[in-house]
Structure 1
Amino acid sequence: MIIRQFFIPGIAHSSYLLGGVSSCMIIDPARDPDIYIHAAEEEGFTITGILKTHLHADFISGHLDLHERTGAPIYAPKSAACEFLHQPVSDGSRFTLDDCKISVIETPGHTPEHVSYIVTHLSSGNEPVALFSGDTLFVGDVGRPDLFPGRARELAGALYDSLHEKIMKLPDHCEVYPAHGAGTFCGRSLSAKRTTTIGYERRFNPALQIRDKMAFIHELTSNMPPSPDHFSRCSDINRRGPALLSSLPPVTGIRPRTVKDLLAKGAYEILDTRRYDAFGSVHIPKSWNISNESNFPTFAGWVIPPDRDILLVVHSPEEISKIVSTLRKVGLERISGYVEKGATGWALAGNVVDHVHTISVHELDRMLHAGEELMVLDVRTAGEYAGYHIPGSVNIHWPDLRTRCVELPADRQIAVICGTGSRASIACSILKRNGYSYISIVTGGYTGWIAGGLHQV
């Protein structure tokens, strides 16, 4: 038996190849079939099954793309009522992969239809050796149960039962392969460690130390992090069946003059994927700025309207393929093209440009001590703000500025700060789109502020 993990930064998603003797199955595939096909070829396996633990909320799954390429059947939870051709599984379902037995247990809680897959390697014995737990059990955490409006307490109770009555009945040596790691919004405080064992989690997972069910429900439904917008739509897309990647049009360059004409129609969004310093220097007016780094897919899925056509501004055309693939992972498929020569090409064509002023942490500190009329807008989460912040600053989480920007003065200088500068730049692009002009990005954010030894509470 062989298990290979595939981890995608940004959405912190883990998928797996489970191999037997000559065949393998892919668990919770991402929307990139090539990586699994190549891995199977390297191992000398034929892909004979595609297993889904649940309808993922944070990304578009690659089950249909992989099925199209390999013909392998898709196994999905019966209660998910998937609309694509699949083999439904539920409690007690069993099938084999060469010398491996795969048993299904229903583990609702993170989502109502969730299942987990238990693997027994028959050549080695009759005890379970691996669990593909999806988003029920993570390393150091458990799946959040609050993604379905009005059902958080019900699902938290179901999650408690799934964990204590089913998963924790497995032997301590059983290895656990979750669908996410640190950085996902599907849990609250996942470990950076990407695999674990039942015994390790039994001893060290904070959520599993809460033995009282009502206390568990309270803990899992209180002070949860905000959930991005695309979480409310990806599950249903995965249930219906995503569009095949082969059916989506190629993304090509568009001349600035044509881009100007398209923008004049009012039906397009400009997404500038450069770093905040480049965006601040020059950009196309009313652009969104989400840097093609770290949490790019999650942040893009959070705020970019999926029902509008998207024009990209990139640092280099060589980045286009990766950026487009990343956006499609969170359901942003209406990508019409990218601006040839980017913001520079736009400016060279004689078009109007915009910018966002950038200040250092020391400039901000000097301005505050000088008593200048300045508002410090902290766009981190409420939890981050509670940990430390600049005295007198105002906290509005950056995605909420889409509706809460009206609370800010339009005629007062606003210095926008986050952890490093990237989220502040997204916030500034939102404010710019809503007519705010007197804004600055604090470069380096709180990382620079703390390193500079400046005051905070």
Structure 2
Amino acid sequence: MIIQQYFTEGIAHSSYILSGNRTCAVIDPRRDTDLYVQHARELGVRITHILETHLHADFISGHIDLAERTGAKIYAPKTAECDFEHIPLSEGDSFMIEDMKIEVLETPGHTPEHISYIVADTSRGEEPVALFCGDTLFVGDVGRPDLFPGRAEELATKLYHSLHEKILSLPDFCEVYPAHGAGSLCGRAMASKRTSTIGYERLYNYALNIKKINDFIDILTNSMPDAPDHFSRCTGINKEGPLPIKRLVPIKALNNEDFVELAGRKDTAILDIRSFESFGGQHIRNAYSIDLNSNFATYAGWLIPPDKNILLVTDNYGQALEACIQLHRVGLDMIEGFLEEGMFGWVTAGLETSHVPQISIVELHRKITGVSDLVIVDVRSASEYENFHIHNSINIPVHELRERFNELDKNAEIALMCGSGQRSSMGCSLLKQKGFEKIYNVAGGMTGYAAAGYGPECPRCVLPWAPFSDSKNTIKEDA
């Protein structure tokens, strides 16, 4: 028995190959499936099973693509009532892959239809050796139960019973293979380690050590991080069966004239994926700024309207291709094309641009310690802000700027900051779309602010997947 894990950065997703000598299963596959096909060939096995633990909310699954490519059968929860051809599974169902016995547990809580797969390698023994638990149990955390409006307490209750009456009945040596790791918003405090054991989680997982069900429900339904917009869309797409990538229209290289024509349409969104420094220097008006080197897929799914045709502004063709892969992962399939000659070709053609001044940490410090009416808007999450922020700054998480921009004065000088400059550049692009002109992006963000010696180090900025903290540090500046 061979277990191979594939961790997808950005969405912090783990998928797996469970292989015997001749055949294998792929568990919770991502949408771009080449790596599974290639690795199966290297192992000398055929992909015969595709196992889904639940209807994923944070990404589009690759079950349809992989089934079409390999002829493998899709196994999914019966209660999901999926619209595509599949083998529905319920509690107590089991099947064999060579010497491996796979048993099904119904483990609702993160989602109503969730199942987990228990694996025994019968060539060695009958005891469970591996658990593919999807988003029920993570390393250091459990799946959030608050993604379905009005059902948080109900699902938290089911999650408690799934964990304590089913998952924790497995032997301590049973290995745990979750569908996400640190950086995912499917939980709150995942550890950076990507696999574990039942015994270790029993000892050190904070959620498993909440013994009273009412306390468990309270903690798991309050103060959770905001869920991105695409979470509510991906579940439905995965249930219906996403359109295979090979059927999507290939991205087109657009000259300036074609780009201008398409950009003028109401059904179009311009997405600039260059660095925040490049965006600040010159960008096309009304463009969204989402740095490809940031948590790109998540923020694109969060900020880009799903009904818009997307025009990309990139540094090169390779970036455009990578952006397409990541956009497809969160269900943004309407990608019209990319600006072939880039911003250099745009400005040398004499076309209109906009810009966002970038200010350094030292310059910011001078402004807020001198005579200045500068308004600082901190676009990090509420938990990051509470942990570490500049005195008198305003906290509006970046995604909330879409609606809360009217809380700000368009005539005021506004500096946006985050942990590094990437999310604040996203925020600048949103405010520019709303008619704000006197805005600055703070390059380096709170990470640079701490490095310059103006305040303590922020663990959430340095290590974005660090567990949430209750401690609060406010940096106060003397006027």
TM over 0.5: yes
Residue by residue over 1:129-187, the C-alpha shift from the partner in whole angstroms, topping out at 9 and shown as x without a partner, is: 00000000000000000000000000000000000000000000000000000000000
Q: In the alignment, what sits opposite 1:369?
A: 369
User: TM-score, with normalisation over the residues of structure 1?
Assistant: 0.99
Contact 2:110 2:145 in 1 (8 A): yes
Q: In the alignment, what sits opposite 1:181?
A: 181
Q: In the alignment, what sits opposite 1:199?
A: 199
Verify: 1:399 aligned to 2:367, yes or no.
no
Equivalent-residue separation in structure 1 for 2:176 and 2:368 (angstroms)? 51
Q: In the alignment, what sits opposite 1:46?
A: 46
Corresponding residue SS for 1:76? strand
Equivalent-residue separation in structure 1 for 2:81 and 2:10 (angstroms)? 29
Q: In the alignment, what sits opposite 1:106?
A: 106
After TM superposition, the structure 1 stretch with the greater mean CA deviation from structure 2, 315-324 or 244-253, is: 315-324
Shift of 1:267: 2.1
Corresponding residue SS for 2:141? coil
Shift of 1:319: 1.8
Equivalent-residue separation in structure 2 for 1:254 and 1:315 (angstroms)? 14
Contact 1:33 1:69 in 2 (8 A): no
Corresponding residue SS for 1:55? coil
Q: In the alignment, what sits opposite 1:325?
A: 325
Q: Which blocks of at least 5 consecutive residues in structure 1 are unaligned?
A: none
Q: In the alignment, what sits opposite 1:169?
A: 169
Corresponding residue SS for 2:144? coil
Amino acid across the alignment from 1:157 = T
Equivalent-residue separation in structure 1 for 2:383 and 2:426 (angstroms)? 19
Contact 1:18 1:25 in 2 (8 A): yes
Amino acid across the alignment from 2:385 = Y
Corresponding residue SS for 1:31? coil
Amino acid across the alignment from 1:100 = M
Q: In the alignment, what sits opposite 1:249?
A: 249
Q: Cα RMSD between the aligned structures?
A: 0.7
Shift of 1:454: 1.2
Amino acid across the alignment from 1:219 = I
Residue by residue over 1:212-238, the C-alpha shift from the partner in whole angstroms, topping out at 9 and shown as x without a partner, is: 011100010010000000001100000
Q: In the alignment, what sits opposite 2:83?
A: 83
Shift of 1:371: 1.8
Equivalent-residue separation in structure 1 for 2:260 and 2:131 (angstroms)? 53
User: TM-score, with normalisation over the residues of structure 2?
Assistant: 0.95
Verify: 1:231 aligned to 2:234, yes or no.
no
Corresponding residue SS for 1:336? strand
Shift of 1:265: 2.5
Amino acid across the alignment from 1:271 = L
Contact 2:60 2:329 in 1 (8 A): yes
Equivalent-residue separation in structure 2 for 1:428 and 1:123 (angstroms)? 59
Shift of 1:318: 1.8
Contact 2:269 2:287 in 1 (8 A): yes
The alignment-based identity, stated in percent, is 53
Residue by residue over 1:231-259, the C-alpha shift from the partner in whole angstroms, topping out at 9 and shown as x without a partner, is: 01100000000001111011021011111
Matches within 5 A, 1:114-193: 114-193=114-193
Contact 2:297 2:329 in 1 (8 A): yes
Contact 1:9 1:294 in 2 (8 A): no
Equivalent-residue separation in structure 2 for 1:264 and 1:390 (angstroms)? 40
Corresponding residue SS for 1:168? helix
Equivalent-residue separation in structure 2 for 1:56 and 1:100 (angstroms)? 25
How many pairs were matched up? 457
Shift of 1:337: 0.3
Corresponding residue SS for 2:258? helix
Matches within 5 A, 1:425-444: 425-444=425-444
Equivalent-residue separation in structure 1 for 2:263 and 2:37 (angstroms)? 40
Amino acid across the alignment from 1:66 = L
Residue by residue over 1:2-23, the C-alpha shift from the partner in whole angstroms, topping out at 9 and shown as x without a partner, is: 0000110000000000011211
Verify: 1:268 aligned to 2:268, yes or no.
yes
Residue by residue over 1:360-381, the C-alpha shift from the partner in whole angstroms, topping out at 9 and shown as x without a partner, is: 1110111111121110110011
Q: In the alignment, what sits opposite 1:21?
A: 21
Equivalent-residue separation in structure 2 for 1:19 and 1:267 (angstroms)? 45
Q: Which blocks of at least 5 consecutive residues in structure 2 are unaligned?
A: 456-474
Amino acid across the alignment from 1:396 = I
Equivalent-residue separation in structure 2 for 1:345 and 1:204 (angstroms)? 56
Q: In the alignment, what sits opposite 2:459?
A: none
Q: In the alignment, what sits opposite 2:12?
A: 12
Matches within 5 A, 1:292-371: 292-371=292-371
Contact 1:410 1:436 in 2 (8 A): yes
Contact 2:358 2:443 in 1 (8 A): yes
Equivalent-residue separation in structure 1 for 2:258 and 2:28 (angstroms)? 40
Shift of 1:357: 0.4
Q: In the alignment, what sits opposite 1:60?
A: 60
Equivalent-residue separation in structure 1 for 2:278 and 2:78 (angstroms)? 49
Equivalent-residue separation in structure 1 for 2:160 and 2:201 (angstroms)? 14
Amino acid across the alignment from 1:7 = F
4+ aligned runs moved over 3 Å, structure 1? none
Shift of 1:335: 0.1
